[in-house]
């Protein structure tokens, strides 16, 4: 749909399905991006915990019928939503995880902008010699991160998950794209690795844990975290203390949102505008946290 078509229509209605999501910066990013393009956007948080397949199907049917251009999907539904959609983009089908659902002509199509977003975010950190990267978590986010790393030419991806079967499934999915293997422990995953990515919710407020003991972190390692609440997670704080290069969840949050917005509208949003909106949300949250 053209910009003129969206501006002349009712609100550009998009949203997010997941739980917990009250902390999400997505509404601010999407609504500010829409406003900058002259659109009237509303981004609705749809927080439902513990939904089964029937509950998810009901929510998606509402998305289909209520005029949504699309919705994002987050924890814990990125994999559960896959069989409930009408179609999948090739990347989402390959990994079996969806974070963006586009509504077109009454059909729901799943995409994964976590993959494209993370690839854009992490590319500046990667050096030609970065062929061994440890990925903690093999769920929806971990899958997207691993596929992004493979697309960037990383040939030795070590997958560690609390459920080994999930790690084995992800390694099998990555087989056509290059080298990936299951790590039996954090120590094994980090042995000789040049990079580490946390693709789990560990460290997201109010949780203050870390998926990797500080003693295993090194100054010659780059460390990224998909969590952005807080920006400096316990993992990133420990890595920074060791002299490691770090990447917060900020860039992933912005780039995946920008790619999703373009899928929803056909229009490329300003990542600068989205970044400013993200930073404002985080600054307000930090002030509120310090005042509490």
Report the catalytic residues: 77
The number of beta carbons lying within 10 Å of the beta carbon of residue 250 is: 16
Residue 9 token pair:
């229509």
Q: Vertex 200, ends 196 and 201: CA angle to 5°? A: 130
Distance (Å, whole) CA 212 – CA 159: 13
Residues β-bridged to residue 46: 17
* DSSP for 183-240, written as a single string: -SSHHHHHTT-SEEEE-SSTT-TT----SS-GGG--TT-EEEES--SSSS-HHHHHHH
β-strand 100-104 against 107-111: which pairing, if any? antiparallel
Do residues 125 and 255 touch, judged by C-beta distance below 8 A? no
User: At a CB cut-off of 8 Å and minimum separation 6, what does 107 contact?
Assistant: 86, 87
Residue 251 token pair:
């860039």
φ, ψ of residue 238 to 5 degrees: the values are -65, -40
Task: Look up residue 81 and give its DSSP letter.
Answer: T
Q: What share of the chain is helix, strand, coil (3-state, %, to 5)?
A: 45, 20, 35
């Amino acid at each position: 749909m053209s910009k003129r078509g969206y501006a002349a229509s009712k609100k550009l209605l998009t949203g997010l399905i997941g739980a917990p999501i009250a902390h999400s910066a997505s509404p601010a990013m999407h609504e500010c991006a829409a406003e900058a393009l002259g659109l009237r956007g509303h981004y609705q948080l749809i927080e439902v915990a513990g939904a089964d397949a029937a509950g998810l199907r009901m929510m998606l049917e509402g998305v289909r019928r209520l005029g949504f251009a699309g919705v994002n999907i987050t924890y814990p539904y990125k994999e559960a939503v896959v069989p409930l959609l009408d179609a999948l983009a090739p990347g989402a089908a390959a990994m079996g995880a969806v974070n963006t659902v586009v509504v077109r002509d009454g059909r729901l199509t799943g995409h994964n902008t976590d993959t494209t977003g993370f690839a854009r975010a992490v590319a500046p950190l990667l050096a030609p010699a970065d062929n061994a990267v440890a990925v903690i978590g093999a769920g929806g986010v971990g899958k997207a991160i691993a596929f992004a790393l493979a697309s960037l030419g990383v040939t030795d991806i070590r997958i560690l998950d609390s459920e080994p079967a999930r790690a084995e499934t992800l390694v099998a999915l990555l087989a056509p794209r290059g080298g990936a293997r299951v790590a039996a422990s954090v120590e094994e995953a980090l042995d000789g690795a040049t990079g580490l990515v946390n693709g789990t919710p560990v460290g997201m407020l109010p949780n203050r844990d870390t998926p990797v003991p500080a003693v295993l972190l090194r100054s010659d390692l780059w460390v990224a975290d998909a969590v952005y609440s807080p920006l400096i997670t316990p993992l990133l704080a420990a890595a920074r203390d060791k002299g490691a290069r770090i990447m917060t969840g900020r860039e992933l949050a912005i780039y995946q949102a920008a790619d999703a917005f373009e899928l929803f509208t056909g229009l490329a949003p300003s990542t600068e505008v989205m970044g400013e909106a993200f930073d404002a949300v985080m600054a307000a949250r930090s002030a509120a946290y310090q005042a509490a």
